[in-house]
Structure 1
Amino acid sequence: MQARTTLTVRQQRLGSELRKLRERAGLTSTEAASLLGGPQSRISNIEAGRYAVSADRVRTMTRNYACTDDAYAEALASMTGTRPRGWWDEYQELLPPAMVDIAELESQAVSLRVAVVIHMPGLLQTTAHARAVMAESVPPMRQHEVEHRVSYRIKRQAVLYEDTPTPYTAVVHEAALRMGIGGPEVARDQLAHLLEVSERDNITLLVVPFGEASFPASGQPISYASGLVPQLDTVVLDSDHACVFLDAEAQLARYRAVLDRMEARALSPSRSRDLIRRVSRNN
Structure 2
Amino acid sequence: MNADRAQVREEQADLRAVTNVADVPTVLRRMLGLRLQQLRKELGLTQLEVARAVFASAPKISRIESGMVGLDHRELTALLRHYGLTDPEEHDRYLSLVRLGNQPGWWHRDSDSLPKGFELLNLEAAARTIRCYEPAVVPELLQTADYARAAIRLRYPDLREREIDRLLAVRLRRQRILDRADPPYLWILVEESALRRRIGGAEVWRDQLARLEQLISADNICVQIVGDEVFGQAVAGSAFVYMRFIERQLPDVVCVSQPTSTLYLESPADIARYLDIAEVLAIQAARQSETMERLRALRSRPNGRASSGEQA
Q: Given the alignment, which residue of 148, 159, 163 partners 1:141?
A: 159
Query: Match for 1:107 among 125, 132, 137?
Result: 125
Identity of aligned residues (%): 25
CA distance in 2, matches of 1:8, 1:98: 18
Q: TM-score, normalised by structure 2?
A: 0.63
| In 2, Cα distance between equivalents of 1:8 and 1:231 | 13
Q: Which amino acid aligns with 1:242?
A: S
Equivalent residue number for residue 12 of structure 1: 29
Check conservation: 1:122, 1:153, Cα contact below 8 A.
Answer: yes
TM-score by length of 1: 0.69
Q: 1:236 is matched with which residue?
A: 255
Are 2:224 and 2:285, in contact at CA under 8 Å, matched by a contact in 1?
yes
| 1:138 to 1:151, Cα distance in 2 relative to 1, 3 A | closer
Distance 1:147 1:201, change over 3 A: same
Using the TM superposition, give the Cα deviation of residue 96 of structure 1 relative to its aligned residue in structure 2, in angstroms: 3.1
1:124 paired residue number: 142
Match of 1:257 in 2: 276
In the alignment, structure 1 segments of 5+ residues that lack a partner are 16-51, 60-75
Q: What letter corresponds to residue 100 of structure 1 in structure 2?
A: F
Which residue of the partner structure matches residue 177 of structure 2? 159
| 1:130-279 to 2 correspondences below 5 Å | 130-213=148-231, 217-218=235-236, 220-227=238-245, 228-229=247-248, 232-279=251-298
Structure 2 CA distance for aligned equivalents of residues 115 and 159 of structure 1: 19
Does the Cα contact within 8 Å between 1:53 and 1:80 map onto a contact in 2?
Answer: no
Whole-angstrom CA distance in 2 between matches of 1:248 and 1:205: 27
Cα deviations across residues 8-28 of structure 1 (Å, max 9, x unaligned)? Answer: 86453599xxxxxxxxxxxxx
Q: How does 1:11-160 map to 2 (within 5 A)?
A: 12-13=29-30, 55=59, 78-79=66-67, 89=90, 92=93, 95-96=113-114, 99-160=117-178
- Alignment check: 8 A CA contact 1:128 1:186 kept: yes
Give distance in 1, aligned partners of 2:115 and 2:28.
Answer: 13
What's the offset of the Cα at 1:137?
3.1
CA contact (8 A) 1:234 1:245 kept: yes
Give the AA of the match of 1:109: A
Query: 1:10 and 1:118, CA in 2 relative to 1: closer, same or farther beyond 3 A?
Result: closer
**Cα distance in 2, alignment partners of residues 234 and 157 from structure 1:** 19
Amino acid at match of 1:241: T
For 2:198 and 2:120, the matched residues in 1 are separated by 26
In structure 2, which of residues 301, 305, 310 is the aligned counterpart of residue 282 of structure 1?
301
Asked whether the equivalents of residues 116 and 219 of structure 1 are also in contact (C-alpha less than 8 Å), the reply is no
Moved over 6 A (4+): 56-59, 81-86
Q: CA RMSD in A?
A: 3.5
One-letter amino acid of the structure 2 residue matched with residue 120 of structure 1: V
Matched length: 229
Q: CA deviation at 1:218?
A: 4.2
Distance 1:281 1:213 in 2: 25
Q: Secondary structure at the match of 1:148?
A: helix
Distance 1:236 1:213, change over 3 A: closer
Shift of 1:110: 1.4
Change (3 A) 1:147 1:263: same
**Structure 1 CA distance, aligned partners of 2:152 and 2:61?**
44
Distance change (3 Å), C-alpha of 1:281 and 1:96: same
How much has 1:212 moved relative to structure 2? 2.6
Q: Distance in 2 between matches of 1:53 and 1:142?
A: 45
